[in-house]
Amino acid sequence: MTNIDTTTIIRDVPLSKLVPSEKNVRRTGRETGIEEMAASIAAHGLLQSLSVRPALDEAGAETDKYAVSGGGRRLTALKLLAKRKRIAKSYAVPCIVNDGDEQEVSLAENVVRENLHPADQFEAFKRLADEQGFGAEEIAARFGVTAHVVRQRLRLGAVSPKLMLVYRAGGLTLDQLMAFAITEDHARQEQVYDNLSWNKEPAIIRRAVMDIPAWWSPTTACPGPDPGEPS
């Protein structure tokens, strides 16, 4: 039977005492999404502690700083907020002090994490709008995205629950789901989905949802009769 070490020390460490660990396994995408993460921390606080261990000097002795082996991007976002004077450099950061192998801790945090499914994100934004009364601009500011992106996600959050389940199960792509979102009529969305042939191109779905004849061209201001009809 494997013994699991559940002993942890949790303490608040001043932001100025935290430094990135050279043993953090994440090498790609370190700067991706930092603006969004900083906006989220500013709006909601730090929702997940950092994993740290005492930083060592060249002689191998402990210093007064802590190396962050788990949460490097969160650290970057916090330092960005401090640079912009949104938080103090002495901001107390909740940390889990771990004396285990830094690379193993970093690998564990990055491997076991699973990103939020887009469907969950869409519906979460919709709930913020419906239950909290937040507008697109306010949601955008709180999560570090553009208002245009929020409006798109809110639109997708209004898709028929039946189609959202299909999307969650992998039966529809994001582009196909967006094509259904051209209307808020759930009955119409489901009717089109139930009658789709093998061709599920987004353009085909949009035409069907809007009940536009296949021969109609968006470049024609006043479409004439179906070319296939007798004159």
Confirm whether 133 is domain-assigned.
yes
According to the per-residue pLDDT averaged within each range, which of 128-132, 134-138, 158-162, 186-190 is highest? 186-190
Q: How confident is the model at residue 221 (pLDDT cuts 50, 70, 90)?
A: very low
Distance of CA 22 to the CA centre of its chain: 26
Q: Are residues 108 and 192 in the same domain?
A: no
Same domain, 14 and 106: yes
User: Domain tally for the chain?
Assistant: 2
Last residue of a domain, one of 112, 136, 155: 112
Q: Please check whether residues 151 and 70 belong to one and the same domain.
A: no
Rounded to whole angstroms, the Cα distance separating 101 from 25 reads 12
Contact 98, 108 (CB under 8 A): no
Q: Where is pLDDT greater, at 128 or 187?
A: 187
Is the same domain home to 16 and 103?
yes
Q: Say yes or no: 130 and 96 in one domain.
A: no
| Token pair recorded at residue 199 | 């061709």
**Cα four-point dihedral sign 224, 226, 227, 231:** negative
Q: Is residue 87 part of a domain?
A: yes
Q: Which string of b and e fits 158-170 if b means at least 16 CB within 10 Å?
A: bbbeebbebbeee
18 in a domain, yes or no?
Answer: yes
In a domain, 36, yes or no: yes
CATH of the domain at 56: 3.90.1530.10
- Would you list the DSSP string of 88-110? -TT-EEEEEE--S-HHHHHHHHH
Averaged confidence pLDDT in the chain? 79
Look at residues 62, 96, 112 and tell me which one is the last residue of a structural domain: 112
The answer to whether residue 34 scores a pLDDT higher than 80 is yes
Residue 222 lies in a domain: no
Structural domain includes residue 214: no
Q: Is residue 91 a contact partner of residue 46, using CB atoms and an 8 Å limit?
A: no
Residues 134 and 200 in one domain: yes
What whole-number distance in Å separates Cα of residue 190 and Cα of residue 196? Answer: 10
Same domain as 142, residue 94 = no
Residues 129 and 108 both lie in one domain: no
Residues 18 and 98 in one domain: yes
User: Which is higher by pLDDT, 185 or 7?
Assistant: 185
Q: What range defines the domain where residue 49 resides?
A: 9-112
Q: Is residue 64 part of a domain?
A: yes
Which position has the higher pLDDT, 64 or 101?
64
